[in-house]
Homo-oligomer: A and B are copies of this chain.
Amino acid sequence: MLENVDLSKSISKEEYNSITEDLRIRIGELQRKAWKMDVPIIIVFEGWHASGMTEIINRFLLTLNPMGFDLYTTGKPCYQEEQKPLLWRFWTKIPPKGRITIFDRSWYRRIIIEHNSRGKASKDMSKCLDGLTYFERQLTDEGYLLIKFFLHISKEEQQNRYRDSKKQGIPLFIVEEEEQEYLNEYDRYLPLIEGILERTDRTAAPWTIVESNNRNFATVKILAKVIESIENKLQAIESEVKVGQNNHNEDCIVPNIDSSVLEKINLDKSISYEEYKKEKKKCQKKMALLQYELFKHRIPLIMVFEGWDASGKGGSIRKFVQKLNPRLYQVIPVATPSQAELARHYLWRFYTEIPEAGHIAIYDRSWYGRVLVERVENLCNSYEWKRAYREINEFEETLSNYGTIIVKFWMHLDKEEQLSRFKQRENTTHKQWKITPDDWRNREKWNLYLSAADEMLQKTSTSWAPWTIVESNDKYYARIKIFHTVIECIENELEQRGLQ
């Protein structure tokens, strides 16, 4: 994409001033309109060193209303960022509806630096590019407008600018140590960058190559492209609205599942209290030791608890963490999303909370809410929850590629046992707050939840993040099964890595 680009294009200062005045007014209008129409916008700037990016970005920023955008400069990752998958820092920065986030270099820069300078294998690079593609597609699927610019200059121009900048007092840019190498290796990086641009040039998020030998031309091209992209996006939304606002909802169907995973579960399994006490003590001791192994080897562990109301999620978690070090685990109860969370991709809030390397994150309900409660209660449309199976698998794959152990529990119960637990809660003073009208309403929709759970278990059991169904009519049996499953997973992982 970078070959044969005519880099001689330029615009004079007078011409530039007169053009940009109009463009600025138009961009202001569009920014306000996108804000009103709740469209989130992400603009990515990548390019060669000395391509004039800081100045061009500053010119671009000055056309925007500062009330509506955030600029994020992608520097060297800090300690916290190094303890999470590459995309974490970018996921946490995506804008809410109606706002613009501008990335002054982005995930692409990190990939280029990390994979070339550190000489990682090209297999890793390929996996990484898959991850980026998931990320960008998830955003555009959700309605994000994603505009990507690559500021292109010739090798000669780059060399000239290096020379000029030495003469002046002001550095062209702030070069971090890890990038030093990048500076004088135009020829070596060219095919790499070319390859990445080609592979990630998708219809929904195409690249725009910006001829940047002349900064006036570059700025005008960027302004024009941003205007065009926002106009197209707003038009597309308006015409979609005309065709029928709820067309995504129309095919809200009953899932077509021949065999139910959950119907075959034998819920009679149980163990005695004595056996439970003995085994619990053993497991808690074992887990306390394994927690330090995870910490020592910087392996993150994610445990997901889903299941029926009153199936014992909370109690199981309490027993599980009783002997753990609270500095290294976190229980994350997932409730109704906040304003800020509703304004972004639904995975955003889960990305922001993934555990640091070496820590344990325990989710009491999770991202599976999308295909359970949100589906059953029509809190999202069918286009959204159907898409979610793939998004969730990709999310978990990303975490797993980073080295995270993922254990997921579906705590299963029959309707009678649930009823007796509900009644027990109603009859115990200090437990009454636990039972709400919502619980009774959910119970009436038992069959809808059953088929949603069933479909979920089938579609999201992957080799990297399998589901474990926990027979939970007997809570002692359930708790011990959970301990055993987690311990086995950790031991397997340690063994596979040759650490045990």
Q: Which residues of B contact A327 (CB under 8 A)?
A: 54, 73, 104, 174
What CA separation (Å) do A54 and B321 show in the bound complex?
12
On chain A, which size bracket covers the interface?
35 or more
User: Residues 87-118 of chain A: 1 if any B CB is under 8 Å from the residue's CB, otherwise 0?
Assistant: 00000000000000000100000000000000
Q: Does A326 contact B (CB under 8 A)?
A: yes
Q: Does A331 contact B (CB under 8 A)?
A: yes
- Scan residues 66-91 of chain A and give those whose CB is less than 8 A from a CB of chain B: 66-67, 71, 73, 78-80
User: Residues 23-46 of chain A: 1 if any B CB is under 8 Å from the residue's CB, otherwise 0?
Assistant: 001001100100000000000000
Contact between B62 and A170, CB atoms less than 8 A apart: no
Copies in the complex: 2
Which residue in B57, B170, B339, B364 is a CB contact (below 8 Å) of A66? B364
User: Residues 322-361 of chain A: 1 if any B CB is under 8 Å from the residue's CB, otherwise 0?
Assistant: 1111110011110100111000000000000000000000
Q: Which residues of B contact A57 (CB under 8 A)?
A: 326
Q: Does A379 contact B (CB under 8 A)?
A: no
CB distance from A343 to the nearest CB of B (A): 10
Known: A54-B327, A58-B321, A326-B61. A333 touches B289 (CB 8 A): no
What CA separation (Å) do A322 and B57 show in the bound complex?
11
What CA separation (Å) do A289 and B364 show in the bound complex?
53
What CA separation (Å) do A13 and B29 show in the bound complex?
70
What CA separation (Å) do A32 and B434 show in the bound complex?
11
Q: Which residues of B contact A323 (CB under 8 A)?
A: 58
- Scan residues 412-454 of chain A and give those whose CB is less than 8 A from a CB of chain B: 430, 433
Q: Does A402 contact B (CB under 8 A)?
A: no
Q: Which residues of B contact A314 (CB under 8 A)?
A: 66
User: Residues 163-184 of chain A: 1 if any B CB is under 8 Å from the residue's CB, otherwise 0?
Assistant: 0000001110010000000000
Q: Does A11 contact B (CB under 8 A)?
A: no
Q: Does A318 contact B (CB under 8 A)?
A: yes
CB distance from A369 to the nearest CB of B (A): 15
Contact between A58 and B430, CB atoms less than 8 A apart: no
Q: Which residues of B contact A330 (CB under 8 A)?
A: 71
Contact between A32 and B433, CB atoms less than 8 A apart: yes
What CA separation (Å) do A397 and B500 show in the bound complex?
54
Q: Does A487 contact B (CB under 8 A)?
A: no
CB distance from A146 to the nearest CB of B (A): 20
Known: A28-B430, A321-B62, A326-B54. A338 touches B335 (CB 8 A): no
Contact between A335 and B171, CB atoms less than 8 A apart: no
What CA separation (Å) do A54 and B61 show in the bound complex?
48
Q: Which residues of B contact A325 (CB under 8 A)?
A: 54, 58
Contact between B25 and A430, CB atoms less than 8 A apart: yes
Q: Does A288 contact B (CB under 8 A)?
A: yes
Q: Can you name the residue of chain B whose Cβ is closest to the Cβ of A102?
A: B326
Q: Can you name the residue of chain B whose Cβ is closest to the Cβ of A174?
A: B327
Q: Which residues of B contact A333 (CB under 8 A)?
A: 66-67
Known: A79-B79, A170-B292, A339-B339. A324 touches B364 (CB 8 A): no
What CA separation (Å) do A323 and B340 show in the bound complex?
34
Contact between A292 and B62, CB atoms less than 8 A apart: no
Q: Which residues of B contact A28 (CB under 8 A)?
A: 430, 433
Q: Which residues of B contact A71 (CB under 8 A)?
A: 326, 330
**10 new A-B contacts at CB < 8 Å, known A58-B324, A169-B289:** A28-B430, A54-B327, A62-B318, A62-B322, A73-B326, A78-B80, A104-B327, A170-B289, A171-B292, A174-B327
Q: Which 3 A-B pairs have the closest CB atoms?
A: A66-B331, A25-B430, A58-B326
